[in-house]
Structure 1
């Protein structure tokens, strides 16, 4: 493998990694929006600036966190505070 081939291989690997991070960020934004409605700009900005490991942690928290801010919290949800569930959404009627 030539030096040029190695540089090209590394560039492709970096591109794939960046694509994974962008895909995870987009999925998290979609999940949060579906669960909590429109998101504050600060929440979106934090998600778009996060690394992959952080996005994985936050995506898992979407399941149980009572607010978007709790999803992005620095520590796991506290057991001492009762979890609040968002109001149930009405299902669309099928016609």
Structure 2
């Protein structure tokens, strides 16, 4: 039996590394749609959290990046995700 097509667990774990999560959050923070899309296409989960529980949605909401917000929400991210301080992206948008 040959190798299966598609992502393996090892491949997914490799793609959603802390470095890639940080890159995703930074791209969302600085309105870099190209990098957000590229990282998502490479298999980085759009719901990934950093060590403080922040998501790309938190970063985009905090900085008013509507295009990034629309992309993330249309991608099915958890809009009620909370960070370590129990703040959701909506808290950060205000």
Please tell me whether Structure 1 or Structure 2 has the larger radius of gyration of its CA atoms.
1
Q: Which has the higher helix share?
A: 1
